[in-house]
Amino acid sequence: MIYREMLAQDYSAAYKLWENTEGMGLSAADSEEEITRYLQRNAGLSQICEDEDGNVAGTALCGHDGRRGFMYHVAVSTSCRGRGVGRELVNRCLNNLREEGIAKCHLMVIGDNELGRGFWSGVGWQFRDGLALYSQDT
């Protein structure tokens, strides 16, 4: 497995993984233009994993607002699951945030995504009960 920074040119292959991944909520914010802007604004933080044939095995989008980190689209292809790829992607992102002086990272999971919730607990993330998420168009 090869781990490296996810770049704008990885978009098409990454999007194919995301649209075939159950539990992944995709929206207009996942267009090539918006993902490219995200990757450029948060350069050096997001990670991609490729298998020995160059196929995308997993992705993790990572960024921060100067105060807290945030991760999105942590996904591993079904054939590569259970081999530590998800954990490694997340650890690399956390290391990148730490190096930028960001002490904590947050992550949203769709409430009924039991697989995803099991993973985040499995890699030691704290479930934050008692928080509510509000959103508004700009």
Interface residue with ligand COA among 4, 16, 68, 83 (CB under 6 A) is: 83
Considering the rule CB under 6 A, would residue 116 count as an interface residue with ligand COA? yes
What single-letter DSSP state applies at residue 28? G
Judged by beta carbon, residue 7 or residue 117, the one nearer ligand COA is 117
Rounded Cα gap, residues 8 and 27, in angstroms: 18
Name the strand (E) or helix (H) holding 2: strand 2-5
Considering the rule CB under 6 A, would residue 59 count as an interface residue with ligand COA? no
Considering the rule CB under 6 A, would residue 35 count as an interface residue with ligand COA? no
Q: Give yes or no for a contact between 53 and 12, defined as CB atoms under 8 angstroms apart.
A: no
Joined together, the tokens standing for residue 21 give 């991944």
Please state the separation of Cα 52 from the chain's center in Å.
21
**Contacting range for ligand COA; rule: CB under 6 A; set: 5-13, 26-34, 78-86, 126-134:** 78-86
Considering the rule CB under 6 A, would residue 63 count as an interface residue with ligand COA? no
Interface residue with ligand COA among 74, 97, 102, 105 (CB under 6 A) is: 74
- Supply the minimum distance, in Å, between the C-beta of residue 25 and ligand COA: 9
| Three-class SS state of 55 | coil
Cβ count near 59 (within 10 Å) = 25
Please report, as ranges, the residues that interact with ligand COA according to CB under 6 A: 21, 23-24, 74-76, 81-87, 109, 113, 115-116, 118-119, 122-123
